[in-house]
Amino acid sequence: MKRASHRPERVSELIRQAVGAFLTGDVRDPRIGFVTVTGVEVSPDLSHANVRVSVMGTEDEKARSLEGLASAARYLRAQLSHELHLRTSPELHFHLDRGLEHAQRIDRVLKELKEPGD
């Protein structure tokens, strides 16, 4: 029986930390706004990483931030290869995480229901 490997989970966490550090300090692209890494999922063979990000702002600002992140993906991949010491660095794919927006919308609706009617 083959043991489940925890390596993708460890690599996911290292990628999350490295991308987060890049976003807090090294970003030069003006399209990238206030972005937070909410999670990273790495394929079992470590060749692809889906990076979920939360972006503050309008829909247009979110789209521009995702474009900026997509254009920075090659640079980030090169940086990861130096930091992680992997045979091959995973290809990064950025996706918008709307979980926080959804939670805020639910909270707002619940508050409106809780308030006494006029």
pLDDT in tens, 20-42: 988 888 788 888 888 899 999 99
60 — pLDDT class (breaks 50, 70, 90): very high
Domains in the chain with CATH codes: 7-114 (3.30.300.20)
pLDDT at 102: 81
Any idea which residue has 């990076």 for tokens?
Answer: 51
pLDDT at 115: 81
Average pLDDT over residues 47-57: 92
2 — pLDDT class (breaks 50, 70, 90): low
Instruction: Determine which helix (DSSP H) or strand (DSSP E) holds 93, and give its type and residue range.
Output: strand 91-96
pTM for the full predicted model = 0.79
3 state DSSP class of 26: coil
Condensed to tens digits (0 to 9), the pLDDT of residues 72-118 reads: 999 999 988 888 887 888 999 999 988 877 888 898 999 988 886 55
Any idea which residue has 């997509």 for tokens?
Answer: 70
**Beta-bridge mates of residue 52:** 39, 95
Torsion angle of alpha carbons 97, 102, 108, 109, nearest 10°?
170
